[in-house]
Structure 1
Amino acid sequence: MLWIWLGITIIAAAIELITIDLVSIWFTIGGIGALIAYALGLSQTIQIVVFVILSIICIFASRPLAKKYLKTQTVSTNYDRVIGQHGLVLKRIDADTRGEVKVLSTQWSASSLDNSTLEVGDYCEILAVEGAHLVVKKINK
């Protein structure tokens, strides 16, 4: 069992070093616990129980913290800051044609939420960003 626990510990640690995303650190800690149980001369059953319980405890104790503080998959482009803002229609928007809206000093292609027509000079509220254009609705200002 020594080689099994040592192998699990080394492989889990290597995966953790490669990914740096807390995907296997718990199994490394569980493997270390099982190695300690082996060194104390405990049975294979106890070693497996120590590995499983220690790994599960580490997962439930650290995963929420890891998700909160290690957001490595999120790429922020700040496009969503326009949602909820008011814009000025620069080019007519109707059911068949996308128009243009100026919001936060930037021009965007835009379409109407309910296919209504917005004329040049109308004000609108930005409801969503879909691809490279805004979805807007007319507001009275």
Structure 2
Amino acid sequence: MVVFFIMELVTASFFLVWFGVGSIVAIILNYLGFNPYIQFIGFAVSSFILILSTRKFAKKVTKKAGKNATAERLIGQKGVVLKKLNKTNVVIKVAGEEWSGYSEDDLNINDKVEVIGIDSIKLIVKKID
């Protein structure tokens, strides 16, 4: 039981937690004196029902979050160059957060930029007036 909860904390998949709950059901059945076969059935059935009943919710949550959900919301946002690393790479401040970014434009400190895309963990920006 504890193993499932620890694995859930490590993976954050919202899947293994239901096996932990199923283990609790099996422990209760054991405490009530049921044989191991009934305990296993209780574990399997409760885990299965919990997984199916939360599947829609889990899909909704993971669909909304997405891989780059935080960065994607920044597309179209305007920011300012805080630090010039070289001709094309800069540190920018967008929506109150500092991000690595790059541009084909020659950017300088305090230039205003707009986020036009994302490449991995860097924002692609263009200079604006």
Q: When the two structures are aligned, how many residues end up with a matched partner?
A: 78
The TM-score normalised by the length of structure 1 is: 0.47
The TM-score normalised by the length of structure 2 is: 0.51
Pair 70,37 (structure 1): closer, same or farther in 2 beyond 3 Å: same
Match of 1:32 in 2: 24
Match of 2:15 in 1: 23
Aligned letter for 2:11?
T
Provide the rounded CA distance (Å) in 1 between the counterparts of 2:115 and 2:16: 44
Runs of 4+ in 1 over 6 A off after TM superposition: 105-108
**2:29 is the counterpart of 1:55:** no
Please tell me the root mean square deviation across aligned C-alpha atoms, in Å: 2.9
Q: Which of the residues 53, 56, 68 maps onto 1:64? A: 56
Aligned letter for 1:75?
N
Same amino acid, percent of matched pairs? 29
Q: Is the 8 A contact 2:22 2:42 kept in 1?
A: yes
The 5 A counterparts of 1:1-141 are 9-71=1-63, 72-76=65-69, 77-78=71-72
Deviation at 1:106, TM superposition (A): 8.5
Q: Is the 8 A contact 1:16 1:25 kept in 2?
A: yes
Based on CA coordinates, which of the two structures has the bigger radius of gyration?
Answer: 1
Deviation at 1:63, TM superposition (A): 1.9
Pair 73,44 (structure 1): closer, same or farther in 2 beyond 3 Å: same
Aligned letter for 1:25?
V
Provide the rounded CA distance (Å) in 1 between the counterparts of 2:116 and 2:36: 67
Provide the rounded CA distance (Å) in 2 between the counterparts of 1:63 and 1:19: 17
Query: Structure 1: where are the runs of 5+ without partners?
Result: 1-8, 82-104, 109-131, 133-141
